Structure 1
């Protein structure tokens, strides 16, 4: 008895070739930088659906494109999550290190400039000082400034002195990465009538820089520049402090000439140290 040959049944569709996700919207689709096809002769990085973890892919079944897309999306998600963690956007981030300095409603209570006051006094008819305070989500700041005159100045002397102080509490961003560049960048502002030099200062905070300003007294490009300003910038953790001295007057006449760079540096360092200590005690 002969057995009639079996007729082949209808061809079953391949679930990996009939991929419902393969339909793409019209228009070009940008390639994923994370989804890379396997090298020739190498197994794919992700096994086909249904294969146990660690098992080799099913033989002679091409891996559908949507699997590669899924793998790229997973990798991209992992990379993006790492960026968010590194930037502090996800998972909390770094906590602001304010080094124990406390915010002041009136910075003039802490910055008393006693060293400068040995030489200077408030100008007649002007306020002894002015100040402001600001509290924002990412940055707290306050300022105190003085308009002074030399105690040795006569009524006919043209001499004006300004001392300005600023304190900043950086609550969201560490200023360490930009602090040195901020003060060294002053040298790039030097021109025909102004010149700036910056040097590092030790023994104050985590880092500190001193800027010396020289300017043409007449505004002429050819006249020699004279010492007329000094700024001390200090960073301690995420807290920054700046004290600035500026002098305007005649260097050729009168008894209220500008002090030397060494004298001003001594005064500005002394008053900065006193101010930083007072801000930690408050």
Structure 2
């Protein structure tokens, strides 16, 4: 608490503040005392402003928990950063048809890119999506890797989840259930990266030659490259 300083009557006389002196009842011979003037308006205003700022600071600290570090920048055009070079080599196909999206809010920045291989008869098609979320007001660790990812129609087989070492703070690789594909999610501080790659068999039922383990390794490599590009 900020209290008023102890001031005697002589301070006003010495400072030239113009404090008035009045005689006590009882006539001559009685001591004269000085009546201190009210505090200056600007002094009161300063105390009240400081109190208001402190109260607001306490309210913010009480409302916003500890926020993890953000070591990555927001990219409005993620497709320019997103290069599936290793995945394309594993698939034996080139990706094109890039679609981009992004938004920036006080609590979170996000950006998205979707690409796919062109359609060819009797050939496996591939689609890939990457989502980067930068959480600025809360820690995303509690809900990390609990949702459907970039495609709500897909189902994750948690029983086949693999922990990926050496990528961000935590990384997991999940298989899609009843559909060809994998999802790689990385948590690093307040940033969450999600990369999904799906493959679709030709309509005539011709089986495609897909090395899922090689595709998983390619996804990890391309994710590492993207994270390096976005590093502050």
Q: Same fold (TM over 0.5)?
A: yes
Give SS of 2:219's match. helix
Unaligned runs of 5+ in 1: 1-84, 184-188, 216-226
Matching residue within 109, 130, 147 for 2:116? 147
The residue correspondences of 1:20-39 to structure 2 (distance < 5 A) are none
1:220-241 per-position Cα deviation (integer Å, ceiling 9, x unaligned): xxxxxxx610000000001000
1:15-37 per-position Cα deviation (integer Å, ceiling 9, x unaligned): xxxxxxxxxxxxxxxxxxxxxxx
| 1:228 and 1:258 in contact (8 A); partners too | no
Unaligned runs of 5+ in 2: 1-57, 149-153
Equivalence for 1:112: 83
Tell me the distance in 2 between the aligned counterparts of 1:132 and 1:170: 17
| 2:67 and 2:190 in contact (8 A); partners too | no
Q: TM-score, normalised by structure 2?
A: 0.63
Query: Which protein shows a greater Rg?
Result: 1
Q: Alignment length, in residue pairs?
A: 167
Matching residue within 213, 238, 245 for 2:190? 238
1:96: how far off?
A: 4.2
Equivalence for 1:128: 97
The residue correspondences of 1:208-219 to structure 2 (distance < 5 A) are 208-215=171-178
Matching residue within 206, 223, 228 for 1:253? 206
* RCO higher in structure (CA 8 A, sep ≥6): 2
1:147: how far off?
A: 1.4
1:276 matches 2:227? yes
Q: TM-score, normalised by structure 1?
A: 0.53
1:114: how far off?
A: 1.1
| 1:139 and 1:169 in contact (8 A); partners too | yes
Equivalence for 2:42: none
1:263 matches 2:228? no
| Cα distance change, pair 86–268 in 1 and its aligned pair in 2 (3 A) | farther
Structure 1 stretches of at least 4 aligned residues deviating more than 2 Å after TM superposition: 85-90, 92-96, 180-183, 194-197, 250-254
